[in-house]
């Protein structure tokens, strides 16, 4: 404008997707399956933020106490994101799908939240940062990479925000653990507790059950589930 | 992990020394001039924390340390409330999902406040644990009734935090300490948010419950009166807390709330809809907590008020009769010792000065 005539006949027609935009429709999950997974996410995030909040008063280490309080909110926010996503996935009663993937997952949470005594900070942190959060990262990553980039974009957006928290929190927790595990006995305690919890988690199959990260046997070379 | 966590099990490292309110107030290095607390008319002039006070350094450091341990307990209390009650419709020991989210958010905020307070304490030359920690704040968060916690902690004690932060912010300004003023300003913003959160919930809780609304308003009047650091936060121009009133207005304490009996609170209403006894008990607990947090009743109208309040608090909080009686006797003795200790301290500091 202002520097010469505009060609009234210059076409403004463009392809709906720019050349660099390679998003595509196909996705591995139906609406119902997505809702089921989101319900599992919400249930587990809730259990995690409740545990972190409850543990704050039980740990004597001041830096750990403050980290748990901070991470408590992160996971509450994740639960809220999923709570709000469920009605968008045709589940008007979010509580109906706010359930564990299976009985083993419920058992895992019970075992993870069992340590309470002030001298069991290592066990508390191991359960969250060496078992549960790595499973969250795996399940979220699988979901993000396998759902439809167009039809399920809202879920992907939430997962991306959540994954940022999960990675940051995992790093916080792992560094706290490394700073606290300073003797062979500490190593033994951490390993034994992790082994116990990991076994239950394997039974559960992950945050959303056996298909939390797909199965290598059935996953095609194209990356579909 | 247990559903409810008793105050005596609060986890601390070896630097912290926990005590009760009376013992804590025996420490002469306090911002509260206890010698003057029996004279309501003189409170405003004597308790204001200013750099000119001969004990300003110790008083400010003690207050900051008190803030820090208070924030730790607030963090723990919010975390426990996020944990202790399942999400539900507010009945049968459940709380609404959104209330749990608010508690988690508050836990994060309190965690930041601990971080800030720890840095400020270090900035002011205070070691962690240099002052005793009284755990009465967390005691108010120990009830197994979520409504009692909501009434006793979220609204009343967060309101107290606004007052304390206002005083410290003002002290930072007057003392020429921009670091202190900056930090307090930020914490103050958070506390206003917390109090507003409490106000919003209470509105919902009493929306259809005029009786509860009346009692809540009565409670608020008590808070305004007793959370005044012995009257220092009066209506006069000399008040240390003139700004606090404005903050409270921003936090949702409107004139309508004070003068009318119509306000809401779906959650409390739902929880106590079929349990008037529980509702009454919650209100009484809230009033007791409010009064008790007037520094053990030191700011009350009578010398005996601290003990009767503390006694009732412990009864409601589940202490046994023997425990209540024993602690009451100890409190009475401790107060006398404290008065004597503070008198001697003042004499010594005055002579040194």
Could you report the per-residue pLDDT of B167-195, keeping only the tens digit for each?
A: 888 888 888 888 889 998 998 888 877 77
> What residues contact B272, with CB distance under 8 A and at least 6 apart?
B147, B209, B212, B278, B279, B282
- Segment of B119-133, B229-243, B322-336 carrying the highest mean pLDDT: B119-133
Could you give the CA distance from residue B116 to residue B189 in angstroms, rounded to a whole number? 13
Q: Note whether A113 contacts B: Cβ–Cβ < 8 A.
A: yes
Q: Identify the residue whose tokens are 């001039």.
A: B33
Number of helices and strands (H, E) in chain A? 8, 0
Cα A71 from chain centroid? 13
Residue B50: per-residue pLDDT: 75
Region of A205 on the Ramachandran plot (φ > 0 left; ψ -120 to 50 alpha; else beta) = left
Give the percent of chain A with pLDDT over 70. Answer: 94
Q: pLDDT tens digit string along B5-46?
A: 988 899 999 999 887 555 555 555 555 544 444 443 333 444
Total residue length of chain B: 353
Decide: A124 and A113 in contact? Cβ < 8 Å.
Answer: no
Residue B249: per-residue pLDDT: 40
Q: Using a CB-CB distance cutoff of 8 angstroms, which residues of chain B are in contact with residue A54?
A: 1, 5, 79-80, 82-84
Residue A179 has pLDDT above 90, yes or no: yes
What is the interface pTM, i.e. ipTM, of the complex? 0.90
Q: Taking the alpha carbons of B89, B95, B99, B101 in that order, is the dihedral positive or negative?
A: negative
Q: Identify the residue whose tokens are 């002469």.
A: B28
Could you give the CA distance from residue A52 to residue A69 in angstroms, rounded to a whole number? 7
Residue A153: per-residue pLDDT: 97
Distance from CA of A58 to the nearest CA of B (A): 5
CB contact under 8 Å between A53 and B104, yes or no, is yes
Of residues B214, B183, B338, the one with CA closest to residue B286: B214
Q: Note whether A49 contacts B: Cβ–Cβ < 8 A.
A: yes
Of residues A173, A155, A208, the one with CA closest to residue A71: A173
Q: Note whether A115 contacts B: Cβ–Cβ < 8 A.
A: yes
Could you give the CA distance from residue B188 to residue B247 in angstroms, rounded to a whole number? 9
Residue A82 has pLDDT above 90, yes or no: yes
Q: pLDDT tens digit string along B66-96?
A: 889 989 999 999 999 999 989 987 666 778 8
Question: Exposed e or buried b for every residue in A169-207, given b needs 16+ CB within 10 A?
Answer: bbebbeebbeebbeeeeeeebbeebbebbbebbeebbbb
Q: pLDDT tens digit string along B198-239?
A: 767 666 666 665 565 555 555 554 444 444 443 344 444 334
Q: pLDDT tens digit string along B264-282?
A: 345 555 677 788 787 777 7
Residue A117: per-residue pLDDT: 97
Q: pLDDT tens digit string along A132-155?
A: 999 999 999 999 999 999 999 999
> What residues contact A151, with CB distance under 8 A and at least 6 apart?
A25, A27
Domains and CATH numbers, chain A: 31-204 (1.20.910.10)
Query: Within a 13 Å sphere around the CA of A182, how many CA atoms are in the beta-carbon half?
Result: 4
Q: Identify the residue whose tokens are 């009493």.
A: B206
Find the angle CA(B199)-CA(B204)-CA(B206) to the nearest 5 degrees. Answer: 95
């Amino acid at each position: 404008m202002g520097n010469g005539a505009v060609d009234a006949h210059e076409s403004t027609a463009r392809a709906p997707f720019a050349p660099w935009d390679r998003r595509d429709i196909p996705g591995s999950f139906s609406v119902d399956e997505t809702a089921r997974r989101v319900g599992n996410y919400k249930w587990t995030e809730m259990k995690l933020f409740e545990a972190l909040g409850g543990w704050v008063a039980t740990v004597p280490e001041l830096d750990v106490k403050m980290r748990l309080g901070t991470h408590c909110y992160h996971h509450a926010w994740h639960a809220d994101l999923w709570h709000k996503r469920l009605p968008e996935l045709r589940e008007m009663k979010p509580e109906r799908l706010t359930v564990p993937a299976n009985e083993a997952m419920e058992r895992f949470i019970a075992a993870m939240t069992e340590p309470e005594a002030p001298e069991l900070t290592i066990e508390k942190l191991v359960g969250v940062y060496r078992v549960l959060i790595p499973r969250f990262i795996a399940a979220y990553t699988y979901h993000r990479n396998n759902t439809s980039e167009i039809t399920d974009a809202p879920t992907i957006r939430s997962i991306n925000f959540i994954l940022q928290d999960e990675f940051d929190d995992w790093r916080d927790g792992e560094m706290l653990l490394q700073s606290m595990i300073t003797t062979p006995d500490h190593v033994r305690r951490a390993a034994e507790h992790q082994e116990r919890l990991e076994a239950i988690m394997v039974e559960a199959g992950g945050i959303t059950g056996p298909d939390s990260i797909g199965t290598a046997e059935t996953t095609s070379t194209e990356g579909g589930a | 992990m247990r559903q409810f966590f008793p105050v005596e099990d609060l986890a601390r490292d070896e630097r912290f020394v926990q005590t009760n309110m009376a013992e804590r107030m025996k420490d002469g290095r306090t911002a509260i001039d206890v010698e003057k607390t029996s004279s309501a008319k003189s409170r405003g002039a004597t308790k204001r924390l200013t750099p000119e006070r001969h004990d300003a350094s110790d008083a400010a450091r003690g207050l900051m340390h008190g803030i820090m341990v208070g924030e730790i307990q607030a963090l723990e209390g919010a975390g426990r409330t996020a944990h202790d009650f399942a999400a539900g419709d507010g009945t049968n020991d459940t709380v609404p999902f959104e209330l749990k989210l608010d508690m988690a958010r508050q836990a994060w905020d309190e965690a930041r406040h601990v971080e800030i307070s720890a840095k400020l304490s270090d900035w002011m030359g205070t070691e962690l644990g240099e002052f005793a920690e009284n755990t009465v704040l967390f005691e108010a968060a120990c009830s197994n009734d979520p409504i009692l916690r909501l009434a006793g902690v979220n609204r009343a004690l967060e309101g107290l935090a606004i007052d304390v932060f206002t005083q410290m912010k003002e002290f930072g300004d007057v003392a020429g300490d921009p670091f202190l003023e900056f930090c307090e300003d930020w914490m103050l913003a958070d506390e206003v948010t917390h109090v507003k959160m409490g106000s919003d919930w209470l509105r919902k809780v009493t929306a259809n419950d005029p009786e509860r609304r009346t009692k809540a308003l009565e409670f608020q009047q008590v808070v305004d009166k007793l959370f005044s650091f012995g009257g220092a936060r009066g209506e006069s121009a000399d008040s240390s807390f003139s700004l606090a009133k404005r903050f409270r207005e921003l936090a949702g304490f409107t004139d309508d709330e004070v003068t009318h009996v119509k306000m809401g609170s779906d959650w409390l209403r739902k929880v106590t809809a079929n349990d008037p006894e529980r509702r009454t008990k919650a209100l009484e607990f809230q009033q007791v907590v409010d009064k008790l947090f007037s520094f053990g009743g030191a700011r009350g109208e009578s010398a005996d008020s601290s003990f009767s309040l503390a006694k009732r608090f412990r009864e409601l909080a589940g202490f046994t009769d023997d425990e209540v009686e024993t602690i009451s006797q100890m409190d009475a003795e401790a107060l006398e010792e404290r008065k004597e200790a503070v008198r001697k301290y003042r004499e010594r500091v005055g002579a040194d000065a």
